[in-house]
Amino acid sequence: MKQFVFLAALALLTVLAGCSFLYSDPAAESEAIVDLTEVEREEEHHWRMPEFEAVNQDGETVTNEDLKGSKTLVKTIFTRCPTVCMTMTPNMVQVQQAMDEEGIEGVNIVSFTVDPDFDTPERLEDYAESYGAHFDNWQLLTGYDPEFLQDDLAPALFTRVEPVENDIVHPTRFYLFDEEGDVIRFYRGEQGFDLEAITADLKYLQR
């Protein structure tokens, strides 16, 4: 009888270990995730969604108000990016596919182009489709002044957006905003990308 109880307890521990993300926050265990829920937001824009008005890949107007009420996973891209976007965008497509497979709801994906003068809605649509993305929960935004990127979006993400020769410096992280518009996570989107950890974290946050 004692042996049976011991084996049952061992089996339970194994199950719990395999489902640990349901009980403990994966952000505490993965280098691919940084938890910003307790970060000090000293200035108005830091780690907060800025006000904006943009146009998505369907030519529809989108504002920051439209994103409230759902979590939003933000990344920056541009369609003629010669470097990091060719890794980041497929990685985000993997995240979208994992969300579909795991039934993770209430998280929208938004990509801000850092090249709005070139990236039309049509170009953004073709770009996303070429990587296998779908638009059920993913919007790619353009139609704002370039100054918005440096004056509003970059400070919100605590980073920089800067044109250089034949390229544009922009962040390689994926930023997760909560329902109120505060950044609560960032995930590595290029080097150190960890699909399993990100999926587990999004599932944990859905509880």
pLDDT at 1: 47
pLDDT at 45: 67
Q: Rounded to an integer, what distance in angstroms lies between the CA atom of residue 174 and that of residue 76?
A: 8
Domain for residue 7, yes or no? no
SS3 139: strand
Domain count, the chain: 1
Extract the residue ranges of the chain whose pLDDT is less than 50: 1-23
42: left (phi over 0), alpha (psi -120 to 50) or beta: alpha
Domain for residue 15, yes or no? no
H helices present in the chain, as ranges:
2-18, 85-102, 121-130, 146-148, 154-156, 195-205
pLDDT at 166: 87
Q: Rounded to an integer, what distance in angstroms lies between the CA atom of residue 108 and that of residue 96?
A: 9
Domain for residue 21, yes or no? no
Domain for residue 112, yes or no? yes
CATH number at residue 92: 3.40.30.10
Range of the domain at 145: 27-205
Considering only the C-alpha atoms of the chain, give the largest distance between any 2 of them, rounded to a whole number of Å. Answer: 73
Q: Are 160 and 55 in contact (CB under 8 A)?
A: no
pLDDT at 187: 96
Domain for residue 99, yes or no? yes
Domain for residue 162, yes or no? yes
pLDDT at 138: 98
Domain for residue 22, yes or no? no
Q: Rounded to an integer, what distance in angstroms lies between the CA atom of residue 83 and that of residue 15?
A: 41
Domain for residue 10, yes or no? no
